[in-house]
Structure 1
Amino acid sequence: MKISICIPVYNGAQTIARLVEAVEHQLADQDLEFVLVNDGSKDDSESVCEQLARSRTNVRFISLRKNFGEHNAVMCALNHISGDCAVIIDDDFQNPPEEINQLVRELEKGYDVVYSRFEAKNDSLFRNIGSKFNDITCTWLLNKPANLYLSSFKAIRREVIEEIIKYTGPFPYVDGLLLRVTSNISTVLVRHDKRKEGRSNYTMKKLISLWLNMFINFSIKPLRVFTLLGLSISLFSLLLIVYFILEKLIRPETSQGWASIMVAITFFSGIQLIFLGLISEYLGKHYLTTNNAPQWTIKKIVH
């Protein structure tokens, strides 16, 4: 089995060469290729990756014209592999290279996708809370098995990759695409190490953008929630109308409260604005997709 190691690179100049060497050492008996995608790094990642590609016959380097995001970079890499399977691994050494063998062995049992799972993650509290929230949301939106953790460190069979790269929209969410294609998924327990250099490149803005890609692009459940919410509010309003009519008949001297009216107006206006915002997100992303916004654009390829 030829294994394609896909590495999205962002500000990884200090670690990417060591990572390639470590993977080669750990999988010395395997037929390997590396696909490195520089996602608009601000350091010397491009020159380091280009040097790796020129000095090794099994390394292909793709440099994108700007920062498109991790999932876009991964989709770019998957479009350029030649292996029988792909292993996606981050460039920061939090995913130990020696654990790749476990993923591949599990994949060889006949699974389409094998995710890594961790007993403990060496991320910040903010990142762990964000991951947990994303996991809960994904379970509800995409019908993900509750015990399946969607980690970025995973192995995918070539036939499944051929299916997910058919998606050419500008807002890919790799795990959402995988869950669309197959349910033949397994997990293996692996180690999660601390970063070798620097800190996480995921800012609050990037985490929200990724969450919205999953929330908006891969399910219509949010729209259904607001439909049910609208019906519930309508029923509640009918009950209030009946209540106020009866109260006016029973206690004619009762005056209507200005505060309660303002609270009601503010509450329902807020609901309407949230719903309009949600619809705008759907329409905006649909507009960009139909307008052929690129998933990624390539500046150079070296191999």
Structure 2
Amino acid sequence: MNPQPAFNLSIVVPVYNGASSVPTLVEALAGLDVPPIVDADGVQGGGLEIVLVNDCSPDNSLDVCRALCAANSVALTVVNLSRNYGEHNAVMAGLSHARGAYIITMDDDLQNPPEEVLRLWHHAAANQYDVVYTYYAEKQHEAWRNLGSRFTNWCADYLLDKPKGLYLSSFRCISAFVAREVTRHNGPFPYVDGLIMQITQKIGRLQVSHLARAEGRSNYTLPRLLRLFLSMFLNFSVIPLRVGTLIGVAMAGLGVLGFLVVLIEAMISSATPAGWASLMSAVLLLAGVQLIMLGLVGEYLGRMFITINDRPQFTVRDVTRNEKASVRDVTRNAKAEQPGSQA
């Protein structure tokens, strides 16, 4: 039997260089009005749970999160990872520790207003969606990041079998069912949205506001964004290999065309050294096609090799829960532990 949710709503926040923003975020989230959950047997659980995942942040984010855990009246759990794994791995760690009937994932940079959390949760619950993604009338990011996001979402339309036009935002609400199925995946290169698309098509969308970053700058550098794109591009489809085949066919066609041009030029002019142009066009075209295909195949094989060698998706060094979060476990499991009760 699937475990009963211990909370009505869990909020998972990956934390990286968030020491200055996390206190403000937690304070705002703790003030949300989330009623306690009551299951069919009348066992009452908690209302809101916050799960902070410290992705081995180089600043003092861990100390700040632990201080918030100790001082806060809301149920709060701090998951401390042993090294930096990246946002999607940190989200997977948070989902594996979240115990809500619905789980919202959001960033620690305050660009997603905390007051939108209740709207997102209510929209998912009222319409019985498995997942609700948010989208923005205007994103307060740099132009190159907005362009990259549009390109990634366009690729995802074909690679992930997602509904056309759906924007894949990190500010999303998922049901406990989807979270449970997503966390069954233990590969080292998770892409949460790709895993979600493999589980359900019962997906909604909700427009929310997006604020400018209050301070600091994004932790997503170009190499990090490229690694994330490759996880989406290669982990859920063999279409890139098929695209490589089509590129090979197209380049071969260009090679034939180039050969014809060189042949005609040789027939009408003696200025071109005999054989030079045809040789160079053939070598460059064939070498380019081969390198593209080798790169794609090598990337697939490399990921398979790393996966087979059991590279961990994440490693949790320790978990800290405050009293309210810990007591909730006892409350929910009390009935199951009674003699003669059915699990």
In the TM superposition, what is the alpha-carbon distance from 1:197 to its structure 2 partner?
2.2
Measured on the aligned residues, the alpha-carbon RMSD in Å equals 2.4
Q: State the match for 1:2 in structure 2.
A: 8
Correspondence for 2:239: 221
Please report how far the alpha carbon of residue 92 of structure 1 lies from its aligned counterpart in structure 2 after TM superposition: 0.7
Matching of residue 41 in structure 1 with residue 57 in structure 2: yes
CA distance in 1, matches of 2:292, 2:17: 36
Task: For residue 78 of structure 1, give the secondary structure of its aligned residue in structure 2.
Answer: helix
Do the aligned partners of 2:255 and 2:281 also contact (CA within 8 Å) in 1? Answer: no
Is 1:160 the counterpart of 2:178? The answer is yes
Query: C-alpha displacement at 1:51, in angstroms?
Result: 1.2
TM-score, normalising length: structure 1: 0.92
Letter in 2 for 1:180: Q
CA distance in 1, matches of 2:264, 2:111: 65
Q: State the 1:238 CA deviation.
A: 6.7
1:95-244 residue pairs with structure 2 within 5 A? Answer: 95-108=112-125, 109-234=127-252
- Inter-partner Cα distance in structure 1 for 2:251 and 2:149: 32
Offset, 1:256 = 4.5
Cα distance change, pair 127–238 in 1 and its aligned pair in 2 (3 A): closer
The amino acid across from 2:243 in the alignment is V
> What is the aligned counterpart of 1:260 among 278, 286, 296?
278
CA contact (8 A) 1:71 1:174 kept: yes
Q: Give, as a single letter, the amino acid of the residue that structure 1 aligns with 2:28.
A: A
Please say if 1:79 is aligned against 2:85. Answer: no
CA contact (8 A) 2:255 2:285 kept: no
Q: Deviations over 1:232-277 (max 9, x none)?
A: 4556667877x59x979x98x9984412320221122011111101
The number of residue pairs the alignment matches comes to: 302
**Percent same amino acid at aligned positions?**
44
Match of 2:340 in 1: none
The aligned amino acid for 1:32 is L
Structure-2-length-normalised TM-score: 0.82
Contact kept? 2:48, 2:75, Cα under 8 Å: yes
Higher mean C-alpha displacement, 270-279 vs 67-76:
270-279
Task: Please give the per-residue CA displacement for 1:187-213, whole angstroms capped at 9, x wherever unaligned.
Answer: 011000011221100001100010011
Q: Unaligned regions of 5+ residues in structure 1, if any? A: none
- Asked whether the equivalents of residues 8 and 34 of structure 2 are also in contact (C-alpha less than 8 Å), the reply is no
Distance in 2, Cα, partners of 1:84 & 1:147:
27
Deviation digits for residues 35-88 of structure 1, max 9, x if unmatched?
A: 110001111100010112222360000111111000000000000111111000
Tell me how far apart the structure 2 counterparts of residues 120 and 162 of structure 1 sit (CA, whole Å): 32
Distance 2:152 2:225 in 1: 9
- Cα distance in structure 1, aligned partners of 2:274 and 2:166: 53
What is the Cα deviation at residue 227 of structure 1?
2.1
In structure 2, relative to structure 1, the CA distance for the partners of 1:300 and 1:136 (3 Å cut) is same
Render the CA deviation track for 1:160-182: whole Å, top value 9, x for unaligned: 11111111000000011111111
Alignment partner of 1:64 is 2:81:
yes
- Residues 102-152 of structure 1: CA deviation (Å, up to 9, x unaligned): 111111111100011100011111211111111111112112222100000
The counterpart of 1:20, out of the listed 26, 35, 44, is: 26
SS of the equivalent of 2:303 reads: helix
Query: Which residue of 2 is the match for residue 293 of structure 1?
Result: 311
Whether 1:284 aligns to 2:302 is yes
Contact 2:187 / 2:312 at 8 angstroms: preserved in 1?
yes
Paired with 1:112 and 1:28, the residues of 2 have a C-alpha distance of: 19
Contact kept? 1:54, 1:302, Cα under 8 Å: no
Please say if residues 16 and 54 of structure 2, whose CA atoms lie closer than 8 Å, have aligned partners that are also in contact.
Answer: yes
Amino acid at match of 1:121: K
Q: Is the 8 A contact 2:244 2:292 kept in 1?
A: no
| 1:225 Cα deviation after fit | 1.2
User: Does the CA contact (< 8 Å) of 2:9 and 2:34 recur in 1?
Assistant: no
For 2:187 and 2:239, how far apart are their aligned partners in 1? 20
Cross-structure match for 1:11: 17
Query: Is the 2:79–2:318 contact (alpha carbons within 8 Å) kept by the matching residues of 1?
Result: yes
